[in-house]
A = this chain, B = another copy of it.
Amino acid sequence: MKVIADVSIVPIGVGVSLSRYVAACERVFKEAELDTRLHAYGTNVQGEWDAVFDAFKRCHEVVHEMGAPRVSTVIKVGTRTDRDQTMGDKVGSVEAKLK
């Protein structure tokens, strides 16, 4: 089952600068060879359900290992059985209607 997901991780109890934790998760996604796209409030991630969610779990583990005692994450995940769709397709489909 393929998914297009979006993940936004918030380490709690480590101050206000969170970018190094987000960067650590980006590295987890890269090691997992997932297609990703970073944006200003999270990261789009595309792949097989298990690969994507294993990476999200690893992300929590890594952020805890970096010293965060608490982590709160928001995940959006979409699946569809009617047709294949990539992250690029989704954006392109909206942009085509804006022309």
Chain A interface residues toward B at CB < 8 A: 1, 4-6, 8, 10, 12-13, 15-16, 18-20, 22-23, 26-27, 37-42, 44, 46, 49-50, 53, 57, 60-61, 64, 69-82, 87-88, 90-91, 93-98
Say how many copies of this protein the assembly contains.
4
CB distance from A94 to the nearest CB of B (A): 5
Contact A60 to B73, CB < 8 A, known contacts A19-B93, A39-B37, A41-B6: no
Residues from chain B with Cβ under 8 Å of A44 in the complex: 39-41
A-B contact pairs, 7 of them (CB 8 A): A1-B60, A40-B91, A41-B90, A50-B57, A69-B81, A70-B78, A74-B76
Q: Supply 6 further A-B pairs (C-beta < 8 A) apart from A20-B97, A39-B91.
A: A16-B69, A19-B90, A37-B40, A40-B88, A70-B81, A73-B78
Residues from chain B with Cβ under 8 Å of A90 in the complex: 19, 40-41
Residues from chain B with Cβ under 8 Å of A88 in the complex: 40
